[in-house]
Amino acid sequence: MPLSDTECRNAKPGAKSVKLFDGGGLYLEVSPAGGKLWRLKYRFAGKEKRLALGAYPEVPLAGRKDADNGKRIRGARDLRDDAKRLLAEGLDPGQQKRQEKLRRVAAAADSFDALAREWLQRQTVWTADYRDLTLRRFERDVFPWIGPRPISDIKPFELLAVLKRIEERGAVETAHRAFQMVGKVFRYAVGAGRAERDITTDIRGQLRPWKKEHHAAITNTDGVGELLRAIDGYAGSVIVVAALRLAALLFVRPGELRRAEWVEIDLDAAEWRIPAAKMKMRRAHLVPLSTQSVAALRELQPLTGHRRYVFPGERSPLRPMSENTVNAALRRLGFDGDQMTGHGFRAMARTLLAENGWNPEVIERQLAHKAAGAMGEAYDRTQFLPERRRMMQAWADYLDVLRQRRKVIAGDFGRTAA
């Protein structure tokens, strides 16, 4: 006699498993612990087998409509009938269930979400902070729409719709950055043999044009702190790490930094005197060195102090490091060209120094910019030198504060020229 829902609901556990049969091989098995599982007994190729159909009451006896959304909830009898149809076609329902589970597992492993997370974990030269930031961008702007989809099933027009949604809220730069990151995930999937091609090539040029700054720079305090921590965690050459740290501390032009020579630097006097021939304006320049800058240079001196250049090239130590070295290191750390460049350290310092009350003329002189009018003609490398020394030390101390995620107290860093 067929079961009723009341019998299923009121079934009590015993010392051993209790089986309540419904018909057609379907029965409810009540374990001694009280769990209730639907099972189907059937024969295939002359052998008796069992198929698990789910737990009661999540899987009801008979199918019904969900009171909340109106969708049909399939019952144990529906699942039994499905299995009987497979048997009629000469297929083993148990084997079909296992294959379907494998397909779901494979699809989940090759979903855009899974591949993006896998790709992120492989960015070992990135800091944990930057990986987390990139993941949050994916979770906010991309995963909700295409995350669960197998990457090979995603169509160009679907991806474009995701990017357009970002663009429509006015975040054009973010849309372009998402486009770049999605493309990297697709190329990773192609290389891993889990996607046929990078579909971002089909929608290139479809986003609203975004004109990036010539020299991208990070100018907010949280971003600067993240950048400094990323530099500290850089897994590359010690010489490159020193170049990155000094680029932040000294904010000279990239060409001036990479061509620095030990003969120009007086660590005891804490000064770097750059000859006019190396300067953009062809005027000699003096860079006061903070205690942090001197420490970084002393740490580097045993490695390169016997050579001409402070930052010798990797291939030829008789030449300065490549002009692309610092930018390439920033890329490896996860900072795209539209976020930060070697030249961007100058804009970073200029912005934050000005925001903290330092005299613009002092800042411009330290940047070796030509002043307007008579001041420009009267340029002298020692102009504002006492104040510049104070500013460079205060700047180095300020970077230490941002690196350590400490709050800057108003007035601690801001100064005006004497």
Catalytic residue flag (residue 285) = no
* Report field, pTM of the whole predicted structure over 0.75: no
Other CB atoms within a 10 A radius of the CB of residue 262 amount to 16
Catalytic residue flag (residue 379) = yes
Tell me, yes or no, if the two domains 112-203 and 221-403 fold the same way.
no
For the stretch 305-311, contacts whose Cβ atoms lie closer than 8 Å and that sit 24 or more positions apart, written own/partner, are 305/262, 307/262, 308/261, 308/262, 308/263, 309/258, 309/259, 309/260, 309/261, 309/262, 310/260, 310/261, 310/262, 310/265, 311/239, 311/242, 311/243, 311/257, 311/258, 311/260
Q: Which of 137, 331, 332, 369 is catalytic?
A: 369
Q: Which of 253, 258, 285, 388 is catalytic?
A: 253
Catalytic residue flag (residue 101) = no
Task: Report d(CA 134, CA 251) in Å as an integer.
Answer: 27
Q: Which of 346, 350, 365, 388 is catalytic?
A: 346
Q: Map residue 154 onto helix, strand or coil.
A: coil
pLDDT reported for residue 294: 97
On whether the CB atoms of residues 226 and 130 are closer than 8 A, the answer is yes
Residue-wise pLDDT for 41-92, tens only, equals 999 988 999 999 999 998 999 888 877 777 888 899 999 999 999 998 888 8
Which overall architecture, per CATH, does domain 5-101 show? Answer: 2-Layer Sandwich (3.30)
On whether the CB atoms of residues 358 and 416 are closer than 8 A, the answer is yes
Catalytic residue flag (residue 407) = no
Residue-wise pLDDT for 173-225, tens only, equals 889 999 999 999 999 999 988 889 999 999 999 999 876 555 789 999 999 99
What is the domain partition of the chain in residue ranges? 5-101, 112-203, 221-403
Of all residues in the chain, the percent with pLDDT exceeding 90 is 61
Among the CATH numbers 1.10.645.10, 3.30.420.40, 3.90.950.10, 1.10.150.130, which is that of 112-203? Answer: 1.10.150.130
Q: Which of 97, 131, 184, 379 is catalytic?
A: 379
On whether the CB atoms of residues 227 and 341 are closer than 8 A, the answer is no
Task: Report d(CA 64, CA 73) in Å as an integer.
Answer: 5
pLDDT reported for residue 72: 83
Catalytic residue flag (residue 398) = no
Catalytic residue flag (residue 346) = yes
Which overall architecture, per CATH, does domain 221-403 show? Answer: Orthogonal Bundle (1.10)
Q: Which of 280, 370, 405, 406 is catalytic?
A: 280
Amino acid occupying residue 226: E
Residue-wise pLDDT for 225-242, tens only, equals 999 999 999 988 999 999
Residue 335 has pLDDT above 70, yes or no: yes
* Nearest in space to 251 (alpha carbons), one of 243, 263, 259: 243
